[in-house]
């Protein structure tokens, strides 16, 4: 081999060795589309756990954080990540390092308007104990860009797990994101709260005044509150003002176990207020056991207030709500259904079985205006009787507190048993009578009376028996009228006092109705 050939062979060997070393070091490595390239050279790839996309005219997106940990935010489209002038952590490239729970503002800025996607990664290692401190929020009162957020994807639960029993709070996380229309399934998955004792404000005003059209089934399924002693304001205002939301999924709060909670105050304060929901699923609050709660203040204050498309209250809606240990029930059901103008019918007696008990007392404001502005009945209809709770005036109370001011609302209990055919209840009672043209038989049925204008057979001794249009017994007394019509008197075997007796062969029969 010539010297030149040997030199090229050696050079090729060196180049191969260099390439192997470079590939081994990751210099030519590439992160996948589901990862964030932290250093821009493929040497550190972090999993994308959550992302947001802006509307088409956005040049910036602002968010705040209080969670502690190392996080990653890829602005994409050549955008730049910056933080405010606070000293609560640092930003370097795509990396956010936070060692304080004080709130810091972060911004992705782009050189041109467009629909930009910001991808997030990392894991929280601690949280503020302040109940109004959001782990992350895209709302900012001054200088915020919440109206620029168009969609979200992924799992906040993957970024913000429970840490040593301390929960992440999503207080106002998407507050006033007026272009947000969907909530992804699994948004809060992986948040294991089974060891948490305080879940207060966890989802307070999370989706307030967004344009979401639906709530994913199982949205809160990973939220186990069986150890929580404080669940106050947990779902306060969560979906308040979501003017495109028409349905609540069944079992939305099915995993929310409050059996250990002593403080459930404000828990569902304004949760669905001013939404166009058309119905409330049966058993919505079936897991909410307040038998240990001593503070239930404002628990359901305005929960469905202003839901003008609601037409009915499901039976048993609050059947697990037990106030037997509560020393503070003030405004517990204050304006719960206030101004639900299409709410008709009557209040089911099973709606509040452990809170409404005849003769019991309650806080003076516990029931104020609960059903004010609705079209619920002020008197019980036929086939029901009034379940007198003592709070009827309070339920509709406005400026007066009397049964004559138009605000009185009633809880009505359906009559037991079955109403016979061709019979009608007397209004407000369970008493009934046969309709005109029908007579009551001894079997408590209403049978059609004789249509020939003769409806009873009278004897000289003052006895009277119905004449029926159809033969109901065999044998029966047949009576032919002047018009040729045949009517029938029922017969039963044996002797009876106050009856006319007939012998047919060796058998004695008596008249009966």
- Write out pLDDT tens, residues 344-370: 988 887 777 767 543 444 555 788 888
Pairing relation of β-strands 476-480 and 486-493? antiparallel
State the pLDDT at residue 8: 42
DSSP 146: G
Which residues in the chain show pLDDT less than 50?
A: 1, 5-9, 11-27, 357-361, 399-405
Instruction: Work out whether strand 45-47 and strand 456-458 pair parallel, antiparallel, or are unpaired.
Output: unpaired
Please report, in angstroms and rounded to a whole number, the separation of the first and last CA atoms in the chain: 130
Residues facing residue 434 across a β-bridge:
423
Sheet holding 104-114, edge to edge: 80-83, 104-114, 58-65, 136-137
Distances 163 to 68, 124, 126, 167, 200 between C-alpha atoms, Å:
10, 8, 6, 7, 16
pTM across the whole model: 0.82
Q: How far is residue 494 from each of residues 60, 461, 467, 489, measured CA to CA in Å? A: 97, 20, 20, 16
- Quick one: pLDDT at residue 17? 44
Q: Are 168 and 129 in contact (CB under 8 A)?
A: no
Q: What is the pLDDT of residues 193-225, one digit of tens each?
A: 999 999 999 999 999 999 999 999 999 999 999
Rg of the chain on CA atoms, in Å: 36
């Amino acid at each position: 081999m010539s010297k030149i050939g040997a030199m090229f062979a050696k050079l090729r060997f060196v180049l191969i060795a260099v390439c192997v070393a470079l590939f081994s070091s990751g210099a030519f490595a590439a992160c996948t589309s589901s990862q964030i390239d932290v250093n821009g050279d493929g040497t550190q790839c972090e999993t994308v756990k959550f992302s947001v996309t802006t509307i088409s005219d956005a040049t910036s997106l602002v968010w705040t954080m209080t969670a502690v940990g190392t996080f990653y935010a890829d602005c994409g489209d050549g955008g730049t990540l910056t933080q405010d002038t606070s000293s609560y952590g640092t930003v370097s490239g795509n990396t956010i390092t936070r060692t304080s729970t004080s709130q810091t503002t972060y911004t992705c800025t782009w050189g041109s308007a467009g629909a930009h996607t910001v991808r997030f990664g990392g894991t929280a290692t601690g949280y503020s104990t302040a109940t109004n401190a959001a782990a992350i929020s895209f709302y900012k009162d001054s200088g915020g860009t919440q109206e620029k957020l168009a969609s979200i994807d992924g799992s906040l639960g993957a970024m913000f797990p429970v840490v040593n029993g301390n929960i992440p709070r999503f207080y106002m996380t998407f507050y006033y994101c007026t272009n947000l229309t969907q909530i992804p399934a699994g948004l809060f998955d992986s948040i294991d709260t089974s060891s948490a004792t305080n879940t207060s404000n966890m989802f307070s005003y999370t989706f307030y005044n967004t344009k979401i059209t639906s709530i994913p089934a199982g949205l809160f399924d990973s939220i186990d509150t069986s150890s929580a002693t404080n669940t106050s304001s947990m779902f306060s205002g969560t979906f308040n003002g979501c003017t495109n939301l028409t349905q609540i999924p069944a079992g939305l709060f099915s995993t929310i176990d409050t059996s250990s909670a002593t403080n459930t105050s404000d828990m569902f304060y304004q949760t669905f207020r001013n939404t166009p929901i058309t119905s409330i699923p049966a058993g919505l609050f079936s897991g909410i056991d307040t038998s240990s709660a001593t503070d239930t203040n404002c628990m359901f204050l305005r929960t469905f207030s202003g839901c003008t498309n609601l037409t009915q209250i499901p039976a048993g809606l609050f059947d697990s709500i037990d106030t037997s240990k509560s020393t503070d029930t003030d405004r517990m059901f204050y304006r719960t259904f206030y101004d639900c103008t299409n709410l008709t019918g009557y209040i089911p007696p099973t709606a509040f079985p452990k809170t409404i008990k005849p003769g019991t007392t309650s806080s003076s404001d516990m029931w104020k205006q609960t059903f004010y502005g609705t079209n619920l009945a002020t008197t019980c209809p036929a086939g029901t009787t009034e379940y007198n709770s003592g709070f009827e005036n309070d339920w509709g109370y406005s400026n007066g507190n009397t049964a004559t001011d138009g605000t009185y609302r009633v809880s009505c209990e359906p009559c037991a048993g079955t109403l016979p055919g061709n019979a009608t209840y007397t209004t407000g009672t369970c008493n009934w009578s046969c309709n005109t043209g029908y007579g009551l038989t001894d079997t408590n049925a209403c049978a059609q009376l004789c249509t020939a204008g003769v409806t009873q057979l009278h004897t000289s001794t003052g006895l009277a028996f119905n004449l029926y249009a159809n033969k109901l017994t065999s044998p029966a007394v047949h009576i032919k009228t002047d018009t040729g019509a045949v009517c029938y008197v029922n017969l039963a075997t044996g002797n009876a006092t106050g009856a006319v007796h007939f012998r047919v062969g060796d058998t004695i029969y008596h008249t009966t109705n």
